[in-house]
Amino acid sequence: MVKKYVFGEPFETEAVTIPMECTPGVMELGKTEAENGFSFTCHMDDTDVIYGLGEANRGINKRGYIYVSNCSDDPNHTENKQSLYGAHNFIIISGEKNIGMFFDYPSKLTFDIGYTRQDTLTVSCERADLYVYVIDGDSAYDVAKQFRKIIGRSYIPPKFAFGFGQSRWGYQNEKDIDTVVSGYRDNQIPIDMVYMDIDYMQDYKDFTVNEERFPNFPEYVQKMKEKNIHLIPIIDAGVKIEDGYDIYEEGVEKGYFCKREDGSDFVAAVWPGWTHFPDFLNPEAREWFGSKYARLIEAGIDGFWNDMNEPAIFYSKEGIDALNQAIKDYTENSEDKRTEKTDDIMNMANEIPAEVRSIMERLQNSPEDYKRFYHNVNGKMVRHDLVHNLYGYNMTRAAGEAFEKIVPDKKILMFSRSSYIGMHRYGGIWTGDNQSWWSHILLNLKMMPSLNMCGFLYTGADLGGFGSDTTRDLVLRWLALGVFTPLMRNHAALGTREQECYQFENIEDFRHVIGVRYRLIPYLYSEFMKAATQDDLYFKPLGFVYPEDRRAVETEDQLMLGNEVMIAPVYTQNASGRFVYLPEEMKFVKFMPDGSIYEQIMEKGNHYIDVALNEVPLFIRKGACIPIVDVAQSVEEIDMSTMKMIGYEGASYKQYQEA
Ligand code: GLC
């Protein structure tokens, strides 16, 4: 059962799609205060588990830390970080009772889940203007499914998007992309997508293509299609300020950019230099920006990734003015100040003075800047910081709504960096700028079921790691998790070690691991479609399936996938295997590098499994089976006639039937 409570005058985020009457009275679950800001506090029993929060740091059980919903462009996902790129305000308190709570609030919201006091959950925000949805269910799993029912069906990508994709920030031109394509095709490593990062554009201008680098873009896109390669360009939120650039000029003329209080267009620097931000909260501006995707779709493009849409700000005009002022003030008075502070002339010359440094440090993604611009919401000016977490959501909504008009009969691949619940109807997400760290394989795994609870099914991380130099073993281990994530993409930052699969020794190992993905695509796609069309989860924590088994509930490095599978990837350096916990008897399956399949029934309980770097493990639940096919070089080339079942003999697999 779902109850909706209202406090003050909430902003309509349109996260929930089912109209519902508000329940009068107070929420019985805990103590609510709505006088000075909002806070909800309740007691947690020792064994209560808190699920949810989608793209958030730390464990599947969120207990024991503090998380802040505040979409942030922060590429350093260390354990102490409280905010990442998304804001997914749904939690499940699971214990004797199972209660879901969705705090529909578009600005900064804090979840103190046993951080201040171990037994206390407090959810708070500055303004008491929000909806709270409270869901009562039989189990955590049941609560998650009820929640999914009220937020609308998850985005479904085209089938090719279940293939493998290669990306790297730095591919400049046709030659660079050709090198990637032949690196894969010539080595028979399956691939379906090559991603185009910002360098394909003319001076980082959205919806443009650099004509020197891609002299005949539609022809090139077509040439790639003939090789079963889809090119997937990036679109950034900021629109470059440049005379003669039609999107900039139109946006200014029609008033579609975010404005300062005085009505002038807000100016901030991102990759193109000075930009304006489209006002995605204004339906007209949304429609206008969305219609621009047609330019690339007409050139044959059938997928995009939306980036920098927190929105990321390198610095604003106001920030730079403040910095210049501080430098000027300092230079004018420097001699006096310096002699007071230190008598070491050499040190003085090398150091940036504190008063200048503090301004420099606050230039990027500054909360002050988020208070400097406004959205036009049905004629009312709404300050950005009050609706900050809706920006990326509405950028992707602009695209999703436009695709329905531009190509109503076609599915377009779309995923975003920033998101809010509701965006899951228009696209998937990737988890942003991770690092080539072993701990980030595990973080990737833990985020997946939490994201599914919040509706985001088409998701994945930058495999191999975005920042830092990667290593061969790390890429292989991460790919062996990526085999199972709907979005399977290898992506890396400019200047890092090249990590395309053909850059390493013994390429056959990569060929094999990615090949396993293609062998499993009919199964993975079918389970994805079931999850999407039935508002169900593709990835589940073990506790959703075995809630009575405490050991299963506490297992956070294994996941249930679909109805038949459990995954347990290796995520530690130099390990030749790992410990697993089986909540029931299962069949251990390993895809061996020679193409054979190792199968062994294992009893419920603890086991150590050997998994070499070039093997892909999974478990099939007792009495179940799954379909596999022969390896293909692209999704298009999968030969369904090669399908056979693996798992328990005599079992049957209920496939998703496409209507
Ligand atoms: C951001 C994105 C990253 C991309 C880079 C350059 O950091 O998160 O994926 O490669 O910008 O566009």
pLDDT tens digit string along 604-646? 999 999 999 999 999 999 999 999 999 999 999 999 999 999 9
Which pLDDT score, from 0 to 100, does residue 356 have? 87
State the Cα–Cα distance between residues 297 and 291, nearest whole angstrom: 10
CA of 452 to the centre of ligand 1 (A): 24
Residue nearest to atom 10 of ligand 1 (CA): 169
Over 80: is that where the pLDDT of 342 sits?
A: no
Name which residue sits closest to atom 3 of ligand 1, judged by CA. Answer: 433
The answer to whether the CB of 429 is under 6 A from ligand 1 is no
CB burial class (10 A; 0-12, 13-18, 19+) of residue 335? exposed
pLDDT reported for residue 26: 79
The verdict on the CB of residue 489 being under 6 Å from ligand 1 is no
* CA–CA gap between residue 332 and residue 345 (Å, rounded): 18
Supply the pLDDT for residue 344. Answer: 54
Between the CA of 491 and the centroid of ligand 1 the distance, in Å, is: 9
pLDDT tens across 404-456, in order? 999 999 999 999 999 999 999 999 999 999 999 999 999 999 999 999 999 99
Give the model confidence (pLDDT) of 304-331 as tens digits. 999 999 999 999 999 999 999 988 888 8
pLDDT digits (tens, 9 = 90+) for 97-145: 999 999 999 999 999 999 999 999 999 999 999 999 999 999 999 999 9
- Give the integer Cα–Cα distance in Å for 346 and 291: 57
Q: State whether the beta carbon of 433 lies less than 6 angstroms from ligand 1.
A: yes
Q: How many residues does the chain have?
A: 659
Q: What is the maximal distance between C-alpha atoms in the chain?
A: 87
Count CA within 13 A, CB hemisphere, residue 9: 1
From CA 471, how far away is CA 436, in angstroms rounded?
8
The mean per-residue pLDDT over the stretch 281-309 comes to: 98
Residue bearing the CA closest to ligand 1, atom 4: 169
How much is the average pLDDT of 246-263? 98
Mark 533-569 as b/e (b = at least 16 C-beta within 10 Å).
eebbbbbbbbbbbbbebeebbbbbbbbbbbbbbbbbb
Which of 39, 4, 205, 22 has the alpha carbon at shortest distance from 122? 39
Q: At 656, is the pLDDT very low, low, confident or very high (cuts 50, 70, 90)?
A: low
Q: Which atom of ligand 1 is nearest to the CA of 305?
A: 9
Contacts of 161 by beta carbon, 8 Å cutoff, 6+ apart:
192, 193, 303, 413, 458, 486, 487
22 DSSP 8-state letter = B
Q: Which residues of 27-57 are buried (b: 16+ CB within 10 A; e: fewer)?
A: bebbebebeeebbbbbebeeebbbbbbbbbb
| Mean per-residue pLDDT, 583-612 | 98
Please state, in angstroms and rounded to a whole number, the distance separating the CA atoms of residues 597 and 542. 25
Which atom of ligand 1 has the smallest separation from the CA of 234?
Answer: 12
**Residue 238 in contact with ligand 1 by CB distance below 6 A:** no
* Residue 658 identity: E
In ligand 1, the atom with minimum distance to the C-alpha of 169 is 10
272 CB within 6 A, ligand 1: no
In whole angstroms, give the CA distance from residue 109 to residue 412. 32
The pLDDT, as a whole number, for residue 659 is 39
Helix pair angle (472-482, 439-453), 10° resolution = 20
Quick check: CB of 432 below 6 Å from ligand 1? yes
Instruction: Look up residue 348 and give its two tokens.
Output: 């003085």
Query: Could you read off the pLDDT of 47-83 as tens digits, one per residue?
Result: 999 999 999 999 999 999 999 999 999 999 999 999 9
- pLDDT for 341 equals 52
Q: Which of 407, 448, 444 is nearest to 428 (CA)?
A: 448
- Please identify, by atom number, the ligand 1 atom nearest to the C-alpha of residue 494: 10
- 390 C-beta closer than 6 A to ligand 1: no
Summarised one tens digit per residue, pLDDT across range 84-95 is 999 999 999 999
DSSP string, 245-287: -HHHHHHHHHT-B-B-TTSSBP-EEETTEEEE-B-TTSHHHHH
Q: Which two tokens stand for residue 159?
A: 């089938």
3-state secondary structure of 292: coil
Using the atom order of ligand 1, give the atom closest to the CA of residue 75: 7
Tokens standing for 295? Answer: 């330019």
Rounded to 10 degrees, the C-alpha dihedral 491/529/441/193 comes to -20
- Predicted pLDDT of residue 343: 53
pLDDT at 358: 87
Ligand 1 mean position to 467 CA, how many Å?
10
Closest CA to 230 of 283, 181, 287: 181
> CA angle at residue 206 from 202 to 207, to 5 degrees?
85
CA of residue 16 to ligand 1 center, whole Å: 30
For the chain, the helix, strand and coil percentages under 3-state DSSP, each to the nearest 5: 30, 25, 45
Q: End-to-end distance of the chain based on CA atoms, in angstroms?
A: 29
How many Cα atoms are found within 13 Å in the side-chain-facing hemisphere of 163? 28
DSSP 34: -
Instruction: Tell me how far the alpha carbon of residue 75 lies from the centroid of ligand 1, in angstroms.
Output: 10
Instruction: Name the nearest CA neighbour of 499 among 519, 479, 522, 520.
Output: 479
Q: Evaluate if residue 471 carries a pLDDT over 70.
A: yes
pTM: 0.96
What pLDDT sits at residue 328? Answer: 87
Per the DSSP assignment, residues forming a β-bridge with 259 are 265, 374
Residue 353 has pLDDT above 60, yes or no: yes
User: According to the model, what pLDDT value does residue 62 have?
Assistant: 98
Give the orientation angle of helix 354-361 with respect to helix 317-341, to 10 degrees.
Answer: 160
**CA 493 to each of CA 433, 466, 467: distance values in angstroms, whole numbers, following the listed order:** 8, 5, 6
User: pLDDT for 132-188, tens place per residue?
Assistant: 999 999 999 999 999 999 999 999 999 999 999 999 999 999 999 999 999 999 999
H-type helices in 160-245, by residue range? 174-185, 217-226
Burial call 65-85: b when 16+ CB within 10 Å, e when fewer: bebbbbbbbbeebeeeebbbb
Distance CA 194, CA 229 (A): 7
Look at the block and give the residue holding tokens 């394509």.
181
List, in sequence order, the alpha helices (H) in 407-469. Answer: 439-453
| Residue 199 CB less than 6 A away from ligand 1 | no
Instruction: Give me the phi and psi of 397, to 5 degrees please.
Output: -65, -40
Q: How far from the centroid of its chain's Cα atoms is residue 243's Cα?
A: 34
* Inter-residue contact 25 to 76 (CB < 8 Å): no
Could you tell me whether strands 539-540 and 559-561 are parallel, antiparallel, or unpaired per DSSP bridges? antiparallel
Q: If you measure from the C-alpha of residue 200 to the centroid of ligand 1, how many angstroms do you get, rounded to a whole number?
A: 13
> Residue 497 pLDDT more than 80?
yes
Least confident range from 328-337, 339-348, 518-527: namely 339-348
Average pLDDT of the chain, as a whole number: 96
647 lines ligand 1 (CB under 6 A): no
